[in-house]
Amino acid sequence: MKGREAANNLFQKRYSIANPSDFVFNETMRIYKEPLLHFLLFGALLFGVYFLMNRSGPAEGLVITAETMKNLEARFVRDWNRTPDEEERQELVDDYIREELAVREGRELGLDRNDPVVRQRLRQKLELMVEEEADVQEPTDQELAAYLREHADLFCDENGKLPELGEIRNLVIFEWENQLRLKQLDQFYQELESRYHVQVEF
């Protein structure tokens, strides 16, 4: 039996050498039957289908307006205390384009989803926008005096004494305005909860 198997193997080798095209064909078919190759191809197909289904169609055009350039230059002046030269202006534009393209493509691919850093940053920017747009009117002396009495624990010194309004007027105004902004922020979130029909199911 061993002699016959050796003879068959020798025959197959000689046949493969004499018929290289058949040998290549057989080897190719053997590779195609590998389960690992099937797995990789199936995974690539799923990824391609997911990628295509999550594309939102033709991308929106990116236009660098004069207002955008003005904002970029203003940021540069804040950072460097001087205006940018022509080369630096071009670098600002190039960097802005790359940043905007990266942000758009990242969102398109869902890279911003379930990222705690991104979520926290979006919340901070939104709340800052709401606070900056809050309608805070300057309080009267009567309102400040009432606020000082109602929140005396915030303003007492180390001896527990409550200073006169005139001594800490700016501090009282700051706390007054901050409280109003927080109230408007709470109102803003209440409106969002109503718009998005928030439900807590536990």
CA 167, CA 178: separation in Å to the nearest integer? 19
Q: What is the pLDDT of residue 40?
A: 61
DSSP 166: G
CA 109, CA 101: separation in Å to the nearest integer? 12
Confidence grade of residue 131 (pLDDT, cut at 50, 70, 90): confident
Identify residue 174 by its one-letter amino acid code: F
DSSP 59: P
Domain boundaries, the chain: 1-53, 59-113, 130-195
Decide: pTM greater than 0.85.
no
Q: To the nearest 10°, the Cα dihedral for 106, 108, 111, 113?
A: 140
Give per-residue pLDDT as tens, 96-128.
Answer: 999 999 888 888 888 888 889 988 998 999 999
Residue 106 tokens, joined: 């990242």
Give per-residue pLDDT as tens, 24-67.
Answer: 455 555 655 666 655 566 565 555 545 555 555 556 788 899 99
For 143-159, what is the mean pLDDT? 92
> What is the secondary structure of 147-199 as a DSSP string?
HHHHTHHHH--TTSPPPPGGGSHHHHHHHHHHHHHHHHHHHHHHHHHHHTT--
CA 176, CA 1: separation in Å to the nearest integer? 100
Q: What is the pLDDT of residue 43?
A: 62
CA 66, CA 131: separation in Å to the nearest integer? 28
CA 67, CA 161: separation in Å to the nearest integer? 53
Q: Do residues 170 and 186 touch, judged by C-beta distance below 8 A?
A: no
- Rg of the chain, C-alpha, whole Å: 35
Q: What is the pLDDT of residue 62?
A: 86
Q: What is the pLDDT of residue 169?
A: 93
CA 165, CA 150: separation in Å to the nearest integer? 13
Q: What is the pLDDT of residue 114?
A: 85
